[in-house]
Chain A
């Protein structure tokens, strides 16, 4: 069956450090992958999109990698700040014109 797995445990990290989140998928062949941020009680906000032929994408303090062999994407927040505390969702575009979302991984940045 198809799965998108993100760590269910919250990531607690000290301010200034790099937070790294993992998104693993099974039985998908996505042409691209997206990352969203979701704050409690709010809709998700788009952060980054990476295509299958791209190894890495950066936007300000964010970096995403995409390894189609490992079926994995890593999401990094460098120099993390308390304002980065949120839940981060990965989403895959798949064959029947749908976006499938992971459950998200919560990040808590400790001042």
Chain B
């Protein structure tokens, strides 16, 4: 199956700073990647759909100016949390589907990035 990597695996930052998280598809090309957020004991919540070569699609209630997504190539999507605050502390996970297109495919998830904002 597909391998998806994320970097960093964890990050601690001060309130007000920006943090960039990378998601890479290692062995197949993904025109679409998905970003999720998971709070402790909660379900994964889809934040946005990252589309290669075009703008990301954000879910209702997710601020696009706060969570900047760039999908510059078929194997790399980045999520930047701008002006992070303690309430942004969470587990951020990316995924890509088997077809590389739709979120309803079987998903290959990255290992996740634990963000802690002090």
Bound complex: CA of A89 vs CA of B44, how far in Å?
Answer: 9
Q: B111–A103 contact, CB under 8 A? A: no
Determine chain A's interface SS by DSSP, over half rule.
strand
**B100 in contact (CB, < 8 A):** no
Identify the closest chain B residue to A102 (Cβ): B43
Cβ-closest 3 pairs across A and B: A43-B109, A93-B104, A101-B43
Tell me the minimal C-beta distance from A42 to chain B in angstroms: 6
Within 8 A of B (CB), among A92-110: 93-94, 97-104
A-B CB contacts (within 8 Å), total count: 53
Asked whether A79 is an interface residue with its Cβ less than 8 Å from the other chain, the reply is no
Enumerate chain B interface residues (CB-CB to A < 8 A). 1, 4, 6, 41-46, 91, 93, 95, 102-104, 106-112, 114
Given contacts A98-B46, A101-B43, A104-B43, whether A46 and B103 have CB atoms under 8 Å apart is: no
Instruction: For A41, list chain B residues within 8 Å (CB).
Output: 91, 112, 114
**Could you tell me the distance between the alpha carbons of A43 and B21 in the complex, rounded to whole angstroms?**
15
Min CB–CB distance B30 → chain A (angstroms): 15
With A89-B44, A103-B41, A103-B43: A44-B103 Cβ-Cβ less than 8 Å: no
Structural contact, B107 and A44, CB atoms closer than 8 A: yes
Does A34 sit at the interface, judged by CB under 8 A? yes
A89 with B103, Cβ < 8 A, contacts A43-B93, A43-B109 known: no
Pair A42/B43 contact, Cβ less than 8 Å: no
Whether the pair B102, A43 counts as a contact (CB closer than 8 A) is no
How far does the alpha carbon of A45 sit from the alpha carbon of B110 in the complex, in Å? 9
A97 in complex: contacting residue of B41, B102, B112, CB < 8 Å: B102
**A86: CB under 8 A from chain B?**
no
CA distance A92 to B108 in the complex (A): 15
Q: Is the CB of A43 within 8 A of B111?
A: yes
Give A52 Cβ to nearest chain B Cβ, in Å. Answer: 13
- The smallest beta-carbon distance between B11 and chain A, in angstroms, is 14
CB atoms of B104 and A97 under 8 A apart: yes
Q: Taking the nearest CB of chain A, how far is it from the CB of B43, in angstroms?
A: 4
